[in-house]
Amino acid sequence: MFETAEVGATLSEAAFREVRDRLRLDLIGLQQRARAADFPIIVILSGVKGAGVIDTVNLLNTWMDPRWIATTAFDEPSDEERERPLFWRYWRSLPPAGTTGLYLGGWYSDPIVQFAEGRLTHASCDDCVLRIKAFERMLAEEGALILKFWLHLSKREQQRRLSRQGKDPLVGLRASDNSWFTPRSYDAYLKAAGYVLKSTMDGAAPWYVVEGGDDNFRRATVLSTLAEHLGRHLKQRGKLLKDRAKAQKRARKLAKRGKGGKSHHVRAPVRNVLDTLNMNQRLTTVAYAKAFHQEQLRLHELQRRARAKGLSTVVVFEGWDAAGKGGAIRRLTFALNARDYRIVPVAAPTDEERAHHYLWRFWRHLGRAGRMTIFDRSWYGRVLVERVEGLTPDDAWMRAYAEINDFEQQLAEHGSAVVKMWLHITKDEQLKRFKERTTVAHKRWKLTDEDWRNRDKWDLYENAVNDMISRTSTTAAPWHLVPANDKRFTRVTVLRTVADAIERNLGG
């Protein structure tokens, strides 16, 4: 795949000067338009030492407005990074919408270097490639523009160029960056790079192999490729949003006339997991007191051991309004050391969060090794409220099942226990609790008009919940359905479920 970049392509000074001014103007204009756009620009620059990666980065920062460009190179992971799944540091580096993330090597340096040096088996490298593809695909599907450049030099050209660069100390110093791809190790690295690049070619995140033997050619090629893609992307994305707005308007009109728009047809109850639950399970006060105390002790001890071993726990609470999530969380945390857990209440995203992929805000909250992170509602909002209320286009929430499975898989692979619980109450029980909330003073603040509106859509939510459970119950992160009509039973079950999960995780 590198042959086309070893032909000795050049661009004369005159020809370069001709395109330069136009290109520069184009880029700055496009960048300005992109500032107001709803997507980020992700540019990965990698390549052979001496082929001009650093110079290209500097040029981009000079020709465009560097304030809206963040350049990232991943060094050895910090201990905070090591204590989270591998991709945590990539997620936290992602540029918000309207800005550009320039990556030196990006998420490709690790697999290429490790594969070249034999620290990664072929199979592990393939795993890594799959994860990268899923990651880029996911970002692209939310609108990100992703471009990847491999700046190339033939072995002989590299040798010539590196010796020549020695004369200008500044250029020489600058090139000293990419220290892993030197002539001595050229063949091994190139083979690894070739394999990884070929495996991560993707229409939504294409690789461009650019010959780096001639500065003018390299600069003009990279920058005009960027300009072309950015221009096209702005246009397409603008059109897409317009079409989507139109479609939504139409759907709302339909919904007003009849009852429910296109996505609101109630399905026949073929395989309704929720209906299989035994909703009559109860605990007497005495049985509760005993079981609760026992599970608290058990959970406390297990969490202590998990903390010592650095094994994290991610707990997800989902459930109907008034199912008792809050109370269950409180009872859960009572058994824990307050420095070992954090509750993340999930409400409407902040504007910073809105400027990122929807999973970004959950990645950012992942706790350090050995801690428990408790999500009160979670990323499942994507396939529940966002689906039912039509806040997210159909294709986006449909995609989300796979994205979520991949996310949880990464948590599990990093050694976290993932505990997902759906607190289930019957419709009658919900009504009873809503009424109680209107009368008991210290519960009144809990009930909002929205709760009543949600209740009207019970059947739609039920469909969504069933889909969610059947599509995201994985071995790594199974769903636990908790019958929650009886609060005592719920609380003990929640404690036991979390304790069981930690125990399994410790045993593994």
Query: Which residues contact its own copies by CB under 8 A?
Result: 24-25, 28-29, 32, 54, 57-58, 61-62, 65-73, 75, 78-80, 102, 104, 169-170, 173-174, 177, 293, 296-297, 300-301, 304, 326, 329-330, 333-335, 337-339, 341-343, 345, 350-352, 368, 376, 441-442, 445
Helix, strand or coil, per DSSP, at residue 271? coil
Q: Computed from CA positions of residues 349, 353, 359, 360, in that sequence, does the dihedral angle turn out positive or negative? A: negative
Q: Which is nearer to its own copies, 180 or 401 (CB)?
A: 180
Nearest Cα to 484, choosing from 419, 433, 418? 433
Question: Cα separation of 372 and 320, whole Å?
Answer: 23
- The distance in angstroms from the start CA to the end CA of the chain is 43
Q: Which is nearer to its own copies, 94 or 125 (CB)?
A: 94
Residue 421 CB neighbours (<10 A): 24
Cβ-proximal residues to 325 (8 Å cutoff; 6+ apart), any chain: 317, 318, 319, 376, 377, 423
Q: Which is nearer to its own copies, 293 or 427 (CB)?
A: 293
State in angstroms the smallest separation of the CB of 331 from its own copies.
8
Residue 272 CB neighbours (<10 A): 16
Q: Which residues are registered as beta bridge partners of 374?
A: 315, 343
Dihedral angle, C-alpha 123, 128, 132, 134, nearest 10 °: 60
State in angstroms the smallest separation of the CB of 464 from its own copies.
23
Q: Which is nearer to its own copies, 20 or 264 (CB)?
A: 20
State in angstroms the smallest separation of the CB of 310 from its own copies.
12
Sheet order of strands, 207-211 included:
69-72, 100-104, 41-47, 145-152, 207-211
Element (H, E) at 346: none
Q: Which is nearer to its own copies, 56 or 472 (CB)?
A: 56
State in angstroms the smallest separation of the CB of 258 from its own copies.
38
Question: Cα separation of 293 and 307, whole Å?
Answer: 21
Q: Which is nearer to its own copies, 202 or 353 (CB)?
A: 353
State in angstroms the smallest separation of the CB of 374 from its own copies.
9
State in angstroms the smallest separation of the CB of 155 from its own copies.
25
Question: Cα separation of 349 and 343, whole Å?
Answer: 16
Q: Which is nearer to its own copies, 37 or 102 (CB)?
A: 102
State in angstroms the smallest separation of the CB of 351 from its own copies.
5
State in angstroms the smallest separation of the CB of 335 from its own copies.
7
Sheet order of strands, 372-376 included:
341-345, 372-376, 313-319, 417-424, 479-483
State in angstroms the smallest separation of the CB of 481 from its own copies.
23
Q: Which is nearer to its own copies, 12 or 32 (CB)?
A: 32
Spell out a b/e string for 31-63, using b for 16 or more CB atoms within 10 Å of the CB, else e.
beebeebebbbbbbbbbbbbbbbbbbbebbeeb
Tokens of 47: 């390549």
State in angstroms the smallest separation of the CB of 46 from its own copies.
13
Q: Which is nearer to its own copies, 26 or 157 (CB)?
A: 26
Q: Which is nearer to its own copies, 264 or 368 (CB)?
A: 368
